[in-house]
Amino acid sequence: MERSDVAKHWETNAETWTRHARAGYDVYRDALNTPAFLAMLPDIDGLAGLDVACGEGSNTRELARRGARMQAIDIAPTFIRHAQEVEAKDPLGITFQFGDGMDIPFADASFDFATSFMALMDMPDQGRVLSEIARVLRPGGFLQFSILHPCFVPPYRKTLREPDGTVRAVEVAGYFDAIDGEVERWWFSSAPKEERDKVEAFSVPRFHRTLSQWVSFIRGAGLIIEELGEPSADAETAAAYPTVADTRVTPIFLHFRVRKPIR
């Protein structure tokens, strides 16, 4: 699938995605994934940062609240418009602009750090994106990014539950299958039926890669792995948000922090 086709899918998703995410329907993000990502993030106060594939800007705004001077890019103009509207109403000094992670529109060594929340697995050429991010990082700068866990969310995943609804196991298959733009269609699991009936399901192109391929991409970009995270809901979170209880059996997300060496 060409990058222009990927962009069309995300532009189609952007309006409903923004509305549903801001309504709190993305429970995995809000209850588990973003808090774990931020807990793993080093101190960014006073640093210049780039958020790659920022979506409607929710996570970028949290980075700015932590004191970072943020710029952000996304390939979907509707996401950028929504992010800019919030910035205009509640300024945090963020510049949101249209941009493709495979051709980042900034000069070499422009940023102290970069982030990407749950986006790189949806891009056609992850190696190129990582190389582009490495290019715009200053020596010693870091990238922290989250993706679907390639081992536990391969092309096929099914959660197996007991009769009372508790998670017993997770069934996976297709780990070694090369998936290059297969479109998955889904809604946020917590979106109520009346909301789903109003809109089309999201159409998300998937580019599945194995864990060893991700490590090769990182090494090929000249980056060094510094930290890994596999968020799992604790008992209290799983009780409060049963949607995320399956992460107590196997992880759904994988977090990397990688660093550009000082030469």
Give, for all 263 residues of the chain, the pLDDT tens digit: 888 999 999 999 999 999 999 999 999 999 999 999 999 999 999 999 999 999 999 999 999 999 999 999 999 999 999 999 999 999 999 999 999 999 999 999 999 999 999 999 999 999 999 999 999 999 999 999 999 999 999 999 999 998 988 888 999 999 999 889 899 999 998 999 999 999 999 999 999 999 999 999 999 999 999 999 999 999 999 999 998 999 999 999 999 999 999 97
What's residue 184's pLDDT? 94
| Alpha carbon distance, N-terminus to C-terminus of the chain | 37
Q: At 259, is the secondary structure helix, strand, or coil? A: strand
> Helices 211-220 and 126-136: crossing angle, nearest 10°?
40
Q: Residue written as tokens 């715009």? A: 136
Task: Compute the distance between CA of residue 158 and CA of residue 250 in angstroms, rounded to an integer.
Answer: 11
State both tokens at 58. 């929710």
Query: Residue 87: which region, alpha, beta or left (left: phi > 0; alpha: psi -120 to 50)?
Result: alpha
pTM reported for the whole predicted model:
0.95
What's residue 194's pLDDT? 92
Task: Compute the distance between CA of residue 236 and CA of residue 96 in angstroms, rounded to an integer.
Answer: 36
What's residue 14's pLDDT? 97
Domain boundaries, the chain: 3-259
What's residue 189's pLDDT? 86
Q: At 140, is the secondary structure helix, strand, or coil? A: strand
- Domain covering 3-259, topology: Rossmann fold (3.40.50)
Residue 158: C-alpha distances to residues 21, 22, 155, 167, 173 (Å): 23, 27, 10, 11, 9
Task: Compute the distance between CA of residue 213 and CA of residue 209 in angstroms, rounded to an integer.
Answer: 6
What's residue 176's pLDDT? 96
What's residue 2's pLDDT? 84
What's residue 165's pLDDT? 83
